[in-house]
Amino acid sequence: MNAIKAVLKDLYGAGILFFYYVKWIIAIGVPTLYLALEYKRNYIMDILWIWCIILIIKDFVYKFILKKSHCDSRSCSTKDK
């Protein structure tokens, strides 16, 4: 059971890193592939594109509307230094 938890934890971490760095490339690249390069429609890429758009919208909501950060005010502030 612990081995399964370790594998799932690794997959979760890899997924976070993957979508953190690749979401903008996918969000811009998939429409470019379909419209400019005339690739055939791929439902898996469509779902991945929608997921990346949702993540981008979530980032904007958290950053600009809710004004939340990934760290508390003391650990990110540079005023004390």
In the structure encoding, which two tokens stand for residue 26, read together?
């996918």
Domain ranges within the chain, ordered by starting residue:
2-68
Residues 6+ apart with CB under 8 A from 76: 69
Number of alpha helices (DSSP H) and beta strands (DSSP E) in the chain: 3, 0
Q: What is the DSSP letter of 36?
A: T
Residue range 2-41, pLDDT digits in tens: 888 888 888 888 888 888 889 999 999 999 999 999 899 9
Q: For residues 38 and 57, give the distance between their C-alpha atoms in angstroms, rounded to a whole number.
A: 27
Within 13 Å of residue 50, how many CA atoms lie on the same side as its CB? 5
pLDDT of residue 66: 79
| pTM, full prediction | 0.66
